[in-house]
Structure formats: structure tokens, C-alpha cells
Amino acid sequence: MRAQMFLIFVSFMLLACSHSGQRNELYRSQTHVAATHKPIDKGAAVSVATAEVVQSGLSPGSYSPFAVEEGDFWHVIFEPRNKEAVSAEPAYLVFKANGRVVEKEIRRIPHPKFGQNEIDGETATAIAKADAQQFQVQVESYNIRAFDERDFWHVIFTLRSNEKTLAGGGPGYLITRVGGEISARRRYQ
């Protein structure tokens, strides 16, 4: 099963690369490192992502890291300690097999709209489901969880363990607590 998941990931990454040289290098690096190292834990993923924050010129001391396990990845989000002083929220997707950052994102921090009620996790899940269905995602094939991230609901779709017809992971959403707007979406196929 683990080997199957790894092959699915490598296939996805090969399709995602636009140049054949990048494909070959990515394939060699992923297969070699994954075969020789054990998967990284949450603390190691946060350390890798913190190094990326430093490289991007941001101050890690301005953020509190928050890591969520998403299948073969760690999703590390850096939540600002002082929202008024910082206008961006970096996030990284770290591959568990080798600790490599496979996706970087700097999210904008929405300013709250006064007079609106905050939404709950159930409402955030309903918003994410409705959006996913617009892109022909078979929502019944996924376990859907909503995580409270202070100003956002992080809604993650993970394949059910008995689902044999689909491969890869599901979509992920960041939905604002105030107003219920989709701030970011990520799709895995």
C-alpha cells in the first residue's frame, strides 16, 4: 500500500512538471531519497518549513507554526502572532517521505467585515463541498474534516480507505471564519 501511494505521488509530480529535465530530476530525487530515509515527523516538517520562511525574507518569530497531517504530506501554516503587523500568512506542503517542500503559498490575511457572524465548521464544510462539486469531485468518496485555525476553517478531503477507484488526495480549502469566503483552494488529482 505504501509503495502504491508513493508511486501515485511520483506519477502526480511527473505530470505536474512542465519540462522533461525537471521530470527526470524530480523522479530520481524522490525515489532515491524515499527509498533511503524514513518518513519525517511533525517537528521535522515544521523545521523544514521554518527554513523556507527564513529564505523568503520573513521573520519566523512573527509567526506561530501549525502543522496538519494530510495523507503523505505535512501542511505547515505560519499563523501571524500579530495580525495588524503582518499582512501575509506563509504555508508549505512538505512531503513526508523525504522532507521536501512541494508547494509554497503566501496567503493574504482578510480584514474582518464587521457586522457579520462567524461561521462554524459545519457551514465551512458545506461551502467546501458545494465548491468541490462544481469541479465534479465525488464528495461521497472522501472523509471531510474541518480544522479551526483562528481566522479560517481549514477543510480537508481525504480518500476513504475503502475507495479503490480513485487515487491521490482530495481538495483542501481555507474558508474565512467571518463571511465564509473561500480564501484559498488546492486540488489534488
Tens of pLDDT along the chain (189 residues) come to 454 444 444 444 444 444 334 434 444 445 444 455 689 999 999 999 999 989 888 888 888 898 888 888 998 988 888 766 666 788 899 999 999 999 888 776 655 554 467 899 999 999 999 998 888 788 888 888 888 877 889 898 888 776 556 666 678 899 988 889 898 888 765
Q: Are residues 104 and 138 in the same domain?
A: no
The predicted model scores a pTM of 0.49
In this prediction, residue 100 carries a pLDDT of 93
User: Are 101 and 175 in a shared domain?
Assistant: no
* Burial status of residue 153 (CB atoms within 10 A of its CB: 0-12, 13-18, 19 or more): buried
Distance CA 96, CA 46 (A): 11
Say yes or no: 103 and 140 in one domain. no
Residues 39 and 65 in one domain: yes
Q: Which residue has the cell 474565512?
A: 176
Strands 172-176 and 182-186: antiparallel
| Statement to judge: residues 14 and 90 lie in one domain | yes
- Asked which of 81, 108, 135 is the last residue of a domain, the reply is 108
Residues 90 and 129 in one domain: no
The total number of structural domains in the chain stands at 2
Q: Are 104 and 132 in the same domain?
A: no
Do 75 and 36 fall into the same domain?
yes
Residues 81 and 140 reside in one and the same domain: no
Task: Kindly state whether residues 136 and 172 are assigned to the same domain.
Answer: yes
Same domain, 52 and 89: yes
Q: What is the pLDDT of residue 109?
A: 61
pLDDT for residue 79: 81
Residue at a domain's end among 108, 135, 154? 108
| Residue range of the domain that includes 131 | 121-186
